[in-house]
Structure 1
Amino acid sequence: MSPRDSSRETAEDTRRPVLPPEQQDALRRAVRLEWTTLAVMAVTVAVVGLTTGQSQAMKAAWIEDCLSLLPPIAFLVASRRIRRPSDRDHPYGHHRSIGVAHLVAAVALLVMGTFLVVDSATGLLTAEKPPIGIMVLFGQPLWSGWVMIAVMAASGVAPVVLGRKKIALARTLHDKVLYADADMNKADWSTAVATIVGLVGIGLGLWWLDAVAALVVAASIISDGVKNLRAAVRGLTDARARSYDEKEPHPLTGQVEEHALGVRWVADAAARVRDEGHVFHVELFVVPRPGQDPPAVELAGLRDSVRELDWKLHDVVVALVPEVPGFQAPR
């Protein structure tokens, strides 16, 4: 096999379908869930916006609901771009669209959370007392706060259900944008509870509870923003590949190295794994045993066997080296 033929084969391999059947099915279900989320959140934003009034907590909850539209939109855009094959201008494909979408959603969360903290803190320091009036419903006077409480209680149910469904799909797809969206959805109940506490506080004459509840919601938004911004930047700067929930280094790095060390002609091996979104790019450095000079077909065989370990190992490069790079973390 000539070097040109080998490189052509590798290029064609990287153009294979990115996701196997199970993950393709999971992606289709995730897309449907995100469209459902957009529909549900659009209705929620409209209803909450109509009942917000002068409450700081309701205003914060409404803005958080608006921000909840960003991760689904980012996911849907990225899920279309990753289908494009690699080309000369994009030799690694378009998988990093997932990371870019993650970064956009994280920055938006952080900016709006900071704005809400400043706005809510200003209202608290200036002792701004939000008025909640009376509305007429079916000919009967009704405190508007009861309507707001009912709206908030109802708005927290659907996102929690959708979030739990997305968690399982995020694990199957190794999708950090979907996981971040699911995590936000699951936490929506705390926003609803905090807002309800603020509204009850207004009704009891404890006007400051409304601003405090808004600060709690804003702090939750900032926490989500910081956590996701850290994860997005780590991924885009080629840090060590981690699990979909960012809790630990991904075990595939160690598995790739152990697999390579099991090959008869390999004396030492170290893997450099880059998280491209759903899939990983692997640079496997192998040191041959003394007297061994493996031909190209052996290297191709090792590459193919590594790719068989897991569907996420989409693009694998095997390099013969006299010693493993010194910067590699100890196994």
Structure 2
Amino acid sequence: MKKLVLVLVFMTALAQAQKPKVWIYSDMSDKTIQGKDHGTANDPDDISGMAGYLLMANMFDTRGIVIASTHRSEHKTSGNQADWANTFFGEAYKKDVVQLNKNIGGFPSTINFVQSCIKESAEKYDSTKKYSILKNYNTVELLLKEAEKSNDIINVLCWGSLTEPAILVNYCLTNKRNDILDKLRFIAHWTNSSLHQGTIEQPWKVANCNEDRAACEYLKEKALKGFITYYECGAIGQHGIVSGSQKGLEYFDQFKKSNLGKIFTEGKFVHNSVDHSDSATFWVLLGNWGVSLNDIASNGTNFIEVEQKNENQFMLYSKIIHNELLRRSNAAVSK
């Protein structure tokens, strides 16, 4: 019996070690906070994206999720967004995870959220500054500490502004902590595109780069010079996964049987489908859903023909992706 227990512990540890480690920076916030983005302070697409991620959470080793990493003035006095997320997502996940583990397995018992250090200040990256200490940037320091103790690559999924990743990279280069940068892999959604929002002449004119262009340009420069690994997805989530999805409430109402599926559908339902475009960052990380990291440059570049090819691939796989999410949503309520 003792030997069997040791074997099971070893197999569990091995399975966990094989899962990609993930850290998420999101501009997500409670969509009841009024603002100018679809009537709320921040685009609620990340809410749908996060629900989708939680339905896939057994595929990842989630090390941290930072939310409200945004520059919107509404957040200077809005409530604690970690408290909101830990209730909004936490309770839904807690209700669904029992059956998810019974029917699929490998899901962590809980997923926790922390509020971004820039949520209230709306601070933007200062390209003239050396960030030699992280005293005022606790959620940047949290990722630093996670990387310090990790023996594996941490995949930093960037769903919004690049301010916090830029501060961390600056800190590491200022303090000659290249060992930390060697353990980080940045995967960004739509911080560059010549096809959508941006143009060939101005590919940076997209939402997640306009939020803090200085941070965006700094990371792109460091990636091009080889200091960091940075995968630019472009708009392939929006114009591949989302545009290629099934359409209509008849299909998406099926998700509402589970708590996470309901959040997925209702987070941002527009144009007859769910907008969860940031999810491209974790689907490319999984690598077997049409587009993988091998299909994207690791130096921050995003050539138009590459983005178009990857967009087309995700378009082809989109219905399969959504059916997998639906399968998991159903598994969350299947006895």
TM-score range, shorter chain: under 0.3
- Give 1 or 2: higher helix fraction: 1
Q: TM-score, normalised by structure 1?
A: 0.24
